Amino acid sequence: MSAPKRRKLSSTVQSPIPSKSDREADIEAPSSPVLPTPQSDNGTTSESPAKAADSNEEAPKSFQELGIIDSLCDACTALGYKVPTPIQRESIPLALQGRDLIGLAETGSGKTAAFALPILQALMEKPQPLFGLIMAPTRELAYQIAQAFDALGSLISVRTAVIVGGMDMVPQAIALGKKPHIVVATPGRLLDHLENTKGFSLRHLKYLVMDEADRLLDLDFGPILDKILKVLPREQRRTYLFSATMTSKVESLQRASLQNPLRVSVSSNKYQTVHTLLQHYLFFPHKDKDLYLVHLLSSDAFAGHPCIVFTRTVNETQRLAILLRALGLGAIPLHGQLSQSARLGALGKFRGRSRDILVATDVAARGLDIPSVDLVVNFDLPPDSKTYIHRVGRTARAGKAGHAISLVTQYDVEIWQRIEAALGKKLGEWGAEREEVLVLGERVGEAQRVAVREMKDLHEKRGTRGATLRGRRTARGGSGGRGRSGRDGMDREEG
């Protein structure tokens, strides 16, 4: 068979996506198959076609069997997507039939390819600019989705534009002026452009995707989404709503934006985790929290392995990163008070393994597909069970094994019991000899003093030019209209 030809949809001018070093091909849809889940509970929908796949004796073994055309199958093969994941098997055939969809699946299940492939296939059949709009809750997820579209559409010269807060509006307006096929945006900045960028309109839009819809609503994007939906065409538009969980807010959103949708679910439990994830907890006095974290990260089981440590606040994220670096551990912080370039740089270093510990607020808990994370540590327990599910979903992705260990003090018992109740099971305790932990007291104490000094210096410089920590309401770059500065930080972690 001859090599696939590069097919052009229109002009080949590529709209810029800032993070060149951060462009990974292995995005969202896994390169190896997710371990099989029972199909009897999947594909729950309002109509019978969604269960069609369940009635077959064998699930489709390839993207071609799902109805994906050869050129896109070649792109999947080039990216290492060997077989469709459960959410892809269930949703792609229905999307190709032209139906609106609600897709529910745990993180790491390949949701991005589940909506990207049908959109790209429809785009090849009837090419037009501003064909599809994908809305995501955070900037990092928006960049990741765009990278997935670029990778899957590489053989057909698809053009994407990323429209997010924290970046200059002028280059974004120029990118929109080049009429990309796909726009990936966070809602606040998208509304800024709809209101203020001359000549930009989505009145001919054919596909709308709201990814991580529950997170969009958790961040109070609801009123902005309402305004955006009012200016989008209702007729001849297909709409996909993807989420890891279904809440009452998400149900209200789907009633307002989807027409007679089919629901596809590959989660039998609202708070389901993949069975390759090993979950444990450590219980100890609150005053020893730093000691137990350092002991865990330095242990033979996890030393040198890629790890994400989740905290509740920006201040704690920055402090822990400094403390761990003072102890010789390769830690880097990721939180919403960093500049956009610093956040992308932190992700790039962690993905490239020049740093093996990412200390993060919940900005990293949703959607981001960081390959080969071996351990997730909940340094601070999340406020609710849903956030716990999304945090631990950063590991054990694409059928691989992973560990999630939560640090529980005497003040966290009630929250931990609620999480276990939501999971429907009691989790085991991770073994740690207290005498071995306390041996680290002197070294950790010195590192804590270093962290206190550096944090004081960071706060004194906060908000000044070149400072690591930025002011909460600082809005930079580009022209904008009324209300833009208030929206600009909404796609940034609120911590």
Q: Minimum mean pLDDT among 75-84, 138-147, 389-398: which range? A: 389-398
Q: Is residue 372 packed enough to be buried (19+ CB in 10 Å), middle (13-18) or exposed (0-12)?
A: middle
Mean of pLDDT values over 224-238: 94
Higher pLDDT, residue 286 or 401: 286
- What are the start and end residues of each CATH 3.40.50.300 domain in the chain? 20-265, 277-460
Compute how many other C-beta atoms are within 10 angstroms of the C-beta atom of residue 356: 21
Check: CB of residue 40 under 8 Å from CB of residue 86.
Answer: no
DSSP-assigned beta bridge partners for residue 405: 280, 377
Where does the pLDDT of residue 59 fall: very low under 50, low under 70, confident under 90, or very high at 90 and above? low
Question: From CA 362, how far away is CA 392, in angstroms rounded?
Answer: 11
Q: Minimum mean pLDDT among 146-150, 190-194, 203-207, 221-225: which range? A: 221-225
Question: From CA 167, how far away is CA 189, in angstroms rounded?
Answer: 9
pLDDT at 33: 32
Q: Tokens 């104490």 sit at which residue?
A: 445
User: CA 73 from chain center: how many Å?
Assistant: 24
Q: Tokens 């809005």 sit at which residue?
A: 475
Average pLDDT, the chain: 83
Please tell me the CATH code under which domain 277-460 is placed: 3.40.50.300
Name the phi and psi angles at 98, rounded to 5: 85, 25
Q: Convert the pLDDT of each residue in 454-487 to its tens digit.
A: 999 998 888 777 777 776 434 334 444 445 555 7
Q: By percentage, how much of the chain surpasses pLDDT 70?
A: 80
Torsion angle of C-alpha atoms 281, 379, 410, 438, degrees rounded to 10: 80
Q: Minimum mean pLDDT among 266-275, 441-450, 464-473: which range? A: 464-473
Question: From CA 231, how far away is CA 204, in angstroms rounded?
Answer: 10
pLDDT at 218: 74
Question: From CA 315, how far away is CA 45, in angstroms rounded?
Answer: 44
pLDDT at 270: 64
pLDDT at 195: 96
Higher pLDDT, residue 223 or 483: 223
Q: Convert the pLDDT of each residue in 305-362 to its tens digit.
A: 999 999 999 999 999 999 999 999 999 999 888 888 888 899 899 989 999 999 999 8
The CATH superfamily assigned to 20-265 is: P-loop containing nucleotide triphosphate hydrolases (3.40.50.300)
Q: Minimum mean pLDDT among 143-147, 173-177, 195-199, 399-403: which range? A: 399-403
Largest CA distance in the chain: 68
Where does the pLDDT of residue 249 fall: very low under 50, low under 70, confident under 90, or very high at 90 and above? confident
